[in-house]
Amino acid sequence: MSRLSIEASTPLCLLQDAGRFGVRHLGVTQGGAADWRSMLWANWLLGNELEAPVIEITLGGFTVVAEEDCVLALAGADLGARLDGEALAPWRSFRLNKDQQLQFTQPLLGARAYLAAPGGFDAPAVLGSSATVVREELGGLDGMGRALAKDAQLSFSGCSRLLLRELAREQVPDFKLNSPLDLVLGAQIGEFSGQSLFDAFNSVWTLDSRADRMGIRLLGTALQYQGKPMISEGIPLGAVQVPPDGQPIVLLNDRQTMGGYPRLGALTPLALAQLAQCLPGATVRLRPVMQDVAHREQVQYLRRFINR
């Protein structure tokens, strides 16, 4: 077994995996990595199961020291990672020798980095997942939903004698590319005014600083819902709710399981991964897409991990 000692952390640094499924009827949300693409690539670089537990580091402020020689992998945002003071770029595996320090300082490109270890970080499975959901006190290193804290230890049992790998340039997601966020239209789409539908898909939306793993508010032209009051219903990942103030909210991994606000629809998984790397104040656009098109694009992306 190998260990890393945490020298610095923040409430935004969490142990995550693919999420917790099959329990929403109990009122338990899914959690899991906000940028699932980067999580998969971090694990792929080490030959792990793609959904193995990783560390999600949001905005930096995280430092670990190796207690033994090991090989780790880094994917996702460039958070100014430094290995004993030397810059370390993401999208590669690397060696961290005993007593060496790995530090994440501040966002240079993107918002969330993912650190993987051979075999995945050790943590108990709670309701089938180690994903940390602080609000529900589930998951994480001790199963109680706590964020990673200074002086805690991260252990892993996979083989550290691995060949180093780097992701091919054409596979690296382009966080600078400000392409529209694809949205599968929802059941209430016809209950918004015509002008609001035009504005929803032809306006620029600004990401509010009031954002967390439950959701992100989009600031822009207020949208007008003209339908009848709704009875609360189940909410999927990526749902775009429109509360009475007309400012849409994109619901993320730690969202509530039920809600009664009308919805434009839901962002696709690929759009959610893109959104997870956007900082507050960034601007985005929404683009309507058919469900079968979104499904086909998702399947095509996942095929990248087959036989690689």
Listed by start position, the domains of the chain span: 2-171, 181-305
Q: Residue 40's closest CA among 253, 241, 303, 296?
A: 303
Going by C-beta distance under 8 Å and a sequence separation of 6 or more, which residues neighbour residue 224? 192, 193, 195, 196, 246
Q: Are 248 and 11 in contact (CB under 8 A)?
A: no
The neighbouring-strand residues paired with 234 are 258
Q: At what angle do helices 291-302 and 269-276 cross, to 10 degrees?
A: 70
Rounded Cα–Cα distance for residues 241 and 248 (Å): 6
* pLDDT tens, the chain, 308 aa long: 899 999 999 999 999 999 999 999 999 999 999 999 999 999 999 999 999 999 999 999 999 999 999 999 999 999 999 999 999 999 999 999 999 999 999 999 999 999 999 999 999 999 999 999 999 999 999 999 999 999 999 999 887 667 899 999 999 999 988 899 999 999 999 999 999 999 999 999 999 998 999 999 999 999 999 999 999 999 999 999 999 999 999 999 999 999 999 999 999 999 999 999 999 999 999 999 999 999 999 999 999 987 65
CATH number of 181-305: 2.40.100.10
Rounded Cα–Cα distance for residues 22 and 172 (Å): 31
- Our CA angle for 54, 57, 63, nearest 5°, is 100
Coil, helix or strand for 218?
strand
Helices (H), 141-285: 194-202, 269-276
